[in-house]
Amino acid sequence: MADPSDLVTAALRADDLASLFELARTHRIDFGCRPMARQLDGGRFESVAYVTHAELDALRQENLPLEIEVMSDGLADERRAAQTVGQGDRFANGRIPPRGLGTHPRQDLGGIMNPDEINSAIDGLVNEYGIPTFDTPYPTADGSGGRGGHVGGVNPDDYHVYFTAGVHARERGGPDNLIYFIADLLYAWKNGVGIQYGSVSYSNAQALKALSTGIVFFPLVNPDGVRWDQQTDSLWRKNRNPASARPDDDRSIGVDINRNYDFLWEFHKHFSSDVYQTNDSIASIDPSSDQFHGVSPFSEPETRNVAWVYDVFPRIRWYMDIHSALGDILFSWGDDADQSNDPSQNFRNPGYDGLRGIVPADDYREWIDESEWSRVFGIARRATAAMAAVGGRSYGPLPAANLYPTSGASDDYAFSRFQVNPAVNKCYGFTMEFGPPYHFYPTLVEFQQNVVDVGAGLMEFCLAAADIGWT
């Protein structure tokens, strides 16, 4: 990752997905949270790359069959932490509860929360609504640990929905989105009112229905990374684990939490070399890579903390990991394109090692039962439709490997657990990529709109989960 002042956001557009896959396969550049391709009005496809000026010039000189448009150049002051991240503690050590925009619409939400404010906001919810919380058991490198809460249930078995945020440090505002959504639900419950997100309104009965799913929320999975990113504006992605770092390279600190889960983690074994030889988006063994996957599956306290929650709440059925920035909800799978014809073609079958990940080719595709596919596609479509209805921004459902594969990601881990171990509950895994595209650091106006969009998406996700159930 370069100096953010030297960074250009480039939209890369092509007539077909295969061209963008080929571009990603043959270039080691930063494709954001993960390489994705959105279909634009008119049918063309667009990926986003975060490149230096030198990388941009090199791309242009290749004369690829692409349209390359610069969407932003450098880091505008209005996106820097000094302008957008809260100072001090607006929640006064939990004496002031957070109020969401769905029950208290206003123009002065304030900045993006700093890590101390995130903890103070949770305390505020505890003091105002009496909700139970948990401290995660595995301390992070800087000793921050993690904290979450749960609402809507009585016993551990009553919790069926699980949200995480704050994984990739630079994807600012994810924890805020989650906390303000929970705050809206609790305010609606306590005061007998409904919730309004832009032009989408939910009744009090719907708020209670969403709460009845039993929601576990863990808003800041990567406190060390977020703290560092907010201090440095360095577009930091990983955690801050120094164990594999080289003394002369600051970028070699840290592990990509979302490549450290136990799902096809050993990518050199499980995937085709074509998808990792040049591009390291899938995962990397190089500590200097933004996708460094650690020294073993679950080597990182952050991933172990996320997984620990499944043990504490064993009936979780619906999981969503909140990321940015694109404008989509991703559904299974993320290691290759989906297929419903051949159950033997699946991630546990060693006969397909070395073949996975070539998304446009059908030599390997990941098995998902057709009825399961309809279910995960349907809930992603329903949640993104609500997000789009809020204020007119574009949101849609996409398969997680719509352009390029990932190894060791949280959503695939969630959906693979019960397939590896029949003793654990079935869980569907999703990733939200809240928008808008082209920037990890929202302006305050964009941040505020993100809170509203995500509120509607999480609300609709819970309502869909309640409609489908968990038996």
Q: Minimum distance from CB of 258 to Zn ion (Å)?
A: 6
Q: How far is the CB of 281 from Zn ion (least distance, A)?
A: 11
Closest CA to 80 of 448, 323, 443: 443
Q: Which x/- pattern over 274-313 shows residues binding Zn ion (rule: CB under 5 A)?
A: ----------------------------------------
Nearest-approach distance from CB 34 to Zn ion, in angstroms: 7
Binding pattern for the stretch 423-452 against Zn ion, x by CB under 5 A and - elsewhere: ------------------------------
Peptide bond into 308 cis (omega under 30): no
Tokens of 421: 């171990």
Quote the DSSP letter at residue 356.
Answer: B
- Select 222 or 448, whichever has its Cβ closest to Zn ion: 222
Which residues within the stretch 312-341 sit at the binding site for Zn ion (CB under 5 A)? 323
- If the CB atoms of residues 216 and 221 are measured against Zn ion, the closer one turns out to be 221
CA 192/CA 278 separation, integer angstroms: 55
Q: Bridge-partner residues for 163, per DSSP?
A: 217, 320
Tokens of 90: 């607006």
| List of E strands, 259-418 | 318-324, 328-331, 338-339, 366-367, 396-399
Closer Cβ to Zn ion, 172 or 315, answer by number: 172
The nearer residue to Zn ion, 171 or 453, going by C-beta atoms, is 171
Count of residues in contact with Zn ion, rule CB under 5 A:
4
d(CA 455, CA 461): 10
Query: Binders of Zn ion among 150-189, rule CB under 5 A?
Result: 168, 171
The CA distance from 43 to 51, in Å, is: 25
CB of 431 to Zn ion, least distance (A): 8
Q: Any contact of residue 33 with Zn ion (CB under 5 A)?
A: yes
Closest of 463, 336, 400 to residue 35, by C-alpha: 400
User: Of the ranges 31-39, 40-48, 144-152, 269-277, which one interacts with Zn ion (CB under 5 A)?
Assistant: 31-39
Instruction: Kindly calculate the radius of gyration of the chain based on its CA atoms and give it in whole angstroms.
Output: 21
Report how far apart the first and last C-alpha atoms of the chain are (Å, whole number).
Answer: 45
Closest distance to Zn ion from the beta carbon of 89 (Å): 26
Please report how close the Cβ of residue 171 comes to Zn ion at its closest, in angstroms: 5
| Residues lying near Zn ion in the complex (CB under 5 A) | 33, 168, 171, 323
